[in-house]
Amino acid sequence: MATFRRFDPSDLDRISKCNLDPLTETYGLDFYLQYYAKWPSMFQVAEDDRGNIIGYIMGKLESSPEYFRNYEHYLPWHAHITALTVAPEARRMGIGRILSEKLEIAADNGDAWFMDLFVRKSNHRAIRFYESMGYSVFRVVKDYYGENVEDPSAGGEDAYDMRKPMKRDVKHEHIRENGREFEVDPEDVF
């Protein structure tokens, strides 16, 4: 069973169910604490009956720096999903969706125009998951990831920058239908 709440640093001592999974990266303490300090409502966890963290989502609210305002890739005030992970034993229960929904609530509270995230082009399962949640590809970031999991000889792997409009974007001005046709370089991405 799972209960959902804000992250607390002591949770880092109980994230093994998520972080021993090879698909979940483990970062330095500064990485997690930065989100805890800056955007505490956007760092949510799912906890099981034994106190294990069986899923978590880390997000942030930001925009491109002001001096980028006239730049074509300027990003207005938006929310970003930095990490979303669910322990293997807790998958297929809807925990990832609930965590994402909670982040969307926080994004709306923070008056974000949209929520975005990056996902490997080869991660079809994740792409399907986000599409079912209302996300769509906004643009393709060429060679965003250093390693290509499907072709190790390739220089890198493309990322999809996926977006979902938040309540503020009533006219859906920040998403596009044909996002897969728009390619940008990693340096264009804030």
> Of 119, 83, 86, which Cα lies nearest the Cα of 103?
83
CB of 60 to other proteins, least distance (A): 11
109 binds other proteins (CB under 8 A): yes
Cα 42 from Cα 102, distance rounded (Å): 8
| Burial 112-132, CB ≥16 within 10 A → b, else e | bbbbbbebbbebeebbebbee
Is 109 or 180 the residue whose CB approaches other proteins more closely?
109
Q: Does 123 bind other proteins (CB under 8 A)?
A: no
Collapsed DSSP state (helix, strand, coil) of residue 147:
coil
- Alpha helix positions (H), the chain: 16-19, 29-38, 95-109, 124-132
Shorter beta-carbon distance to other proteins: residue 32 or 135: 32
- Which region among 43-51, 65-73, 140-148, 170-178 touches other proteins (by CB under 8 A)? 43-51
Residues 45-84, interacting with other proteins (CB under 8 A):
48-50, 52
Which of 64, 74, 101, 123 is the binder for other proteins (CB under 8 A)? 101
Token pair belonging to 146: 């250093």
Residues that bind other proteins (CB under 8 A): 1-6, 8-10, 12-17, 19-22, 26-30, 32-34, 36-41, 48-50, 52, 88-95, 97-98, 101-102, 105, 109
